[in-house]
Amino acid sequence: MALRATIFKAELAVADIDRGYYADHSLTIARHPSETDERMMVRVLAFALHASERLEFGRGISAEDEPDLWARDLTGAIDHWIELGLPDEREVRKACGRADAVDVIAYGGRAVDLWWEGVRKSLERQERLAVREIPPEASKALAGLADRSMNLQVTIQDGHISITGHDTSIGTELRVLKERG
């Protein structure tokens, strides 16, 4: 018998001063049985960093042809494709051909540097791609906020990210590995 996804609910308040985006989102997050709390919470952070009316979670780990998050226009064309972790460089290049903008949010500590060293030459040519890394201490701290019912506030100002939930506050900045363009 296959294991089923665990459902998490999050009330997410986003104040992105850098983009001038302020909104509340009620999220339903299906965590695949093989997904860790850390990865799930990185997905929630990625949602906050790129929040928009049309941004939604993909089927994630269980679907190879979909990103972790994406935004599509009214015709179904992909405006924004967001991958987490250390994706295969061929899949990232394919995403760059399918979407107007592609973001990779890498996490995993030293493994990120090894991954980037191996894919950098190929991915640096992708103009639609931006790659950033979440510091390992921040992604691990995010895992501590995971709960079946969450109230989270994310504030982004001058590149600094503050995540608050359960009387805990986490501050971090993403390391830029590649800018778009």
Mean pLDDT of the chain: 94
Q: What is the pLDDT of residues 40-98, one digit of tens each?
A: 999 999 999 999 999 999 876 656 678 999 999 999 999 999 999 999 999 999 999 99
The Cα–Cα gap between 45 and 58 comes to 15
* Residue type at 113 in one-letter notation: D
The pLDDT assigned to 63 comes to 61
Domains of the chain: residue spans and CATH = 6-178 (3.10.640.10)
